[in-house]
Structure 1
């Protein structure tokens, strides 16, 4: 009896069950710095593939950072599998660099993230394992996805992506959260946009504008999302939530209005980490580290309908 019980427990631990459907999950290394998880629904001979691109910071494939664990991207992948859509989600290159103790922020550029996404697209194209390939870019990953979409993919989905240049987004955020530093922020952003570094900023802004990160910020500020998305000639879905504390609904509207092919979906009470928030800003902020929460169901419906249409 004990042997049978152990066998059953082993079987349960190695097979993923969800709503009476199963899927397989495989670890794949794309490059020396990019590892990820390929999730394939069972009983699908050649499904569509969604490549999920994470947001800013040292974000791993599940959507988590050291002190922020929501598992939102993992939940997104699992829900897509429930709907017979395969996915690949991956650790950003900085995650592996941190593990190796070899982070060189001074040499990091925004284009590194774009090239990583392109490498993933080409990897799966060569495999010819999937019917169509879509990109889903969350937050910073939205701009990464737009730039990588030139690799001739089948559709692009922006989740909580900014419509303004990141420099202007930062100015807006500082103006809303720490207005006393608004003018300093404007000055620094203007300097960085011109391609020059600066030491003229208060210590309170050091984490964002220290000399090591300024070259990366300049490379990021070189791109205007509305200009990039305007040139995409593929189906586009732009999604934002009304409870997003970091990216406003207006940002999503800017993106959608920039391309006639774009479809805009505003989801009531969805926040930046794709959870449903019924309460106040405190509940919203706490949810970033509440992995027990379920991902917004309307979000899943919109993505599934877009990919399957």
Structure 2
């Protein structure tokens, strides 16, 4: 789990679902029903954010003729029904009720833009929406589908120019709402790191498939109920893509690249699906409870840190916890506990030992979320792996200054190239260890 993502969760839980606050409600603006415009003018998907200072909160609104729904990807909120939607000519008002709180949006519609004020418990922040879903972005490559639990999953296939068959790598994104390109709605801007990897592979004669995880982006329909999601679902999905590519005559060797949380997913899937090679980029070398506690130590007071440790101990034993402090609800809410329990069953070091294929372990010296020591730990438990440490590379695979503020600034800059040495190292490994040996 990403440190940055945890910080955002804690911030958002304070802003959106603060416990113990006043339940006094604001008055909804009065409207004349004869003056209410048709909702047809705003039907569709609107994408934007609540502009909390320094840390905007991405939101997605969907309106139909009579109602609306809101999604907050960073909080795991998907298609939450709005309590009220009122459109009076260009004046738009909508609200949501969550945990006995009333959150209101008072805005104005101007063609393909909605802007206004979000208010909760006397605190107000501007919000802005534009027409169109976040997935409506031009992409290169071909859309492919594979059958998975609860339906079909879409992926994006990048094929090199020339005649095949080509080696292919399945690229798995990191934790939370991170999409197939390596971008997250929990963070401002885009970095396009995984998209750049796919393009870099194609330029060197290696095909790739990258995909939004179930419940994310174009595969949001596969989400299901949060309490039903298991870590194994992600593993099975990744394995399905490996089987898909292995059965396609356009491809020869099929491997996996897993980034961050995708590293452990890919590690297990590579063994289950009999992949030909495996590459871990910025993957944890320890069980997630150890990584999480290390990250929380710098963010929580002693009482919440102790409670987090107690919760994780119980979850590791397969026991769910019902009583949780409000400040920790976003991280340990009951509906996400089954997923954490299933995640805790996997130790990256033990899983890596099972792989009998060429393995490359990659990390960067400026990664503030998963340090170099994790890659070194994995290398120590399996000495026949290749280890690539990229100077000045951070968690989103870009070159970064040493200071934390400068490092985080790269997370939203798609113009920055991948860190020097990353693609060279990956391509050399694939050509020597995979193509030449097969």
Q: TM-score, normalised by structure 2?
A: 0.63
Match of 2:250 among 105, 111, 129: 129
| Structure with the higher fraction of residues in strand conformation | 2
Q: CA deviation at 1:103?
A: 4.3
- When the two chains are superposed, the root-mean-square deviation of aligned CA atoms in Å is 1.8
Matched, 1:82 2:200: no
Deviations 1:159-182 (A, max 9, x none): 000011011110111113335332
1:27 to partner: Cα distance = 0.9
Matched, 1:293 2:416: yes
Distance 1:172 1:48, change over 3 A: same
Q: What are the superposed Cα offsets for residues 176-199 of structure 1, whole Å, 9 maximum, x if unpaired? A: 333533222211110100100113
Question: Cα–Cα, structure 1 residues 179 and 234, in superposed 2: closer, same or farther, change >3 Å?
Answer: farther
Shift of the 99–147 alpha-carbon distance from structure 1 to 2, 3 Å rule, reads closer
- CA deviation map 1:44-98 (0-9, x unaligned): 4212111101111122211112243211110110111111111111111111587
In the alignment, the residues of structure 1 paired with residue 335 and residue 209 of structure 2 have an alpha-carbon distance, to the nearest angstrom, of: 31
Please state if 1:178 is matched with 2:300: yes
CA distance in 1: counterparts of 2:219 and 2:269, whole angstroms: 24
Counterpart of 1:161 in structure 2 is 283
Segments of 4+ in structure 1 off by > 6 A? Answer: none
More helix by share: 1
8 Å CA contact retained: 2:212, 2:218: no
2:181 to 51, 58, 62: 62
CA deviations over 1:98-152 (Å, ceiling 9, x no partner) = 7449641100000000000111011111113212111100001100111111221
1:229 aligns with 2:352: yes
* Alignment map for 1:155-304 (pairs within 5 Å): 155-180=277-302, 181-304=304-427
The answer as to 2:145 corresponding to 1:29 is: yes
3-state DSSP class of the match of 2:366?
coil
**TM-score by structure 1 length?**
0.88
Partner Cα separation in structure 2 for residue 34 and residue 247 of structure 1: 29
What is the CA–CA distance in structure 2 between the aligned matches of 1:46 and 1:97, rounded to whole Å?
Answer: 28
Q: Is the 8 A contact 1:233 1:261 kept in 2?
A: no
Q: CA deviation at 1:243?
A: 1.0
89-98 vs 220-229, which deviates more?
89-98
Q: Secondary structure at the match of 1:285?
A: helix
Q: Aligned residue pairs: how many? A: 287
Q: Does 1:105 align with 2:226?
A: yes
Q: What residue ranges of structure 2 are gaps of 5+ in the alignment?
A: 1-138, 433-438
Unaligned runs of 5+ in 1: 1-15, 17-23
In structure 1, C-alpha distance between the alignment counterparts of 2:219 and 2:144, rounded to whole Å: 19
Is it true that 1:93 corresponds to 2:214 in the alignment? yes
Larger RCO of the pair (alpha carbons < 8 Å, separation 6+): 1
